[in-house]
Amino acid sequence: MRVLAVTNMYPTPKLPGSGTFVAAQVESLRAAGLDVHVLRLDRAELGRLVYRGLGAKVRELVTGFQPTVTHVMYGGVMADGVTRALSTHPVVVSFCGSDLLGGQAPGVLERLSIRHGIRASRRAAGLAAGIIVKSQNLLDALPSRVDRTRTWIVPNGIDLNRFHPLDPAACRNDLGWDPQRRHVLFPAQPSRPEKRYELAAASVKRLAESGVPVELHALEGVDHDDVPVWLNAAHVVVLTSAYEGSPNAVKEALACDVPVVSVDVGDVSDRLNGIAGCFLADPTPDDIAEKIGYALAHHPARVKGRQSVANLALESVAARLREIYEVVSTTR
């Protein structure tokens, strides 16, 4: 089986942390025996110009590579362009979150771009032979006209060989974190408005004002290979996003048996369900601070999270994707 993977998120020497989950998925498909060719669109470098001539480019690749299926690994303008260009070829589109749900932006042009991307996603959903979403809320966001028999909920897989429990004290020592303090990790760049760093910071400030020796760290500028160390060094991982699909950070933290406190977003409630020491919180500083306090004071330093994400091992997700490719390629 040959797969043409089209993505605008993929690691590069300049941005080694970009789209690491896409690269991991591609490698897992290759490990499962699929022949995968990647068309990487450098959105970060070229901006919107990267989509110029996309239709001609993918038609040429399909003619030469002759893939069984083309998998567009994000929605928006990219998915719209590919599905329109390959109307007689089976195309699977993965929707990840903001491509269907939109997001926050400071400027008028940025907000117009977001709305345009959502419209493009909805058009692509109508044309795609198969649709993969990461969570139920994304399935609900699809246009009503989309045939649900050709949609699948498949969260991104987790590399359980990379994300596993490590000695937390040793990890804190490696990072130079004060062993006398409690450390909360915000697993995203503070500059991303949809992640709502200000909410996390206000929550940790409330907790500190109550007398808890707590410190907030942001996962910014961290080499991808070092992310497991940061997760294991944390006493708690906190997620305050306005919207998500199936956030990898939560699943990776659980794979390391690290407690998670999160607002109810994406599929997080399903991920945390039944795990003692993990909490859902209202999106307010008071409630998030209270739940972080519970996690720090009333539960063990490590939770039983790894067993809850065992079914999301990269190998398992790759096998599921192959099944979807087979269905789509035989019914188009």
Which DSSP category does 251 fall into?
H
Residue-wise pLDDT for 51-60, tens only, equals 999 999 999 9
pLDDT level of residue 271 (50, 70, 90 thresholds): very high
Q: Which residue intervals of the chain bear CATH 3.40.50.2000?
A: 2-157+313-331, 168-311
Q: Average pLDDT, whole number, for the chain?
A: 93
Of 167, 206, 185, nearest in space to 285 by CA: 206
The CATH code of domain 168-311 reads: 3.40.50.2000
Of 22, 170, 4, nearest in space to 91 by CA: 4
Sheet arrangement for strand 151-153: 35-40, 2-7, 69-72, 91-95, 130-133, 151-153
Angle, alpha carbons 22-25-31 (nearest 5°): 145
> Are the C-beta atoms of 87 and 59 separated by less than 8 Å?
no
Q: Answer yes or no: is pLDDT of 273 > 90.
A: yes
Of 237, 240, 241, 263, nearest in space to 250 by CA: 237
The fold adopted by the segment(s) 2-157+313-331 is Rossmann fold (3.40.50)
**What is residue 332's predicted lDDT score, i.e. its pLDDT?**
62
Report the distance separating Cα 5 and Cα 331, nearest Å.
20
For 288-306, what is the mean pLDDT?
91
pLDDT level of residue 105 (50, 70, 90 thresholds): low
User: Is the CA virtual torsion 249, 299, 271, 321 positive or negative?
Assistant: positive
Question: Could you give the 3-state DSSP secondary structure of residue 318?
Answer: helix
Q: Answer yes or no: is pLDDT of 209 > 90.
A: yes
For 295-303, what is the mean pLDDT?
85
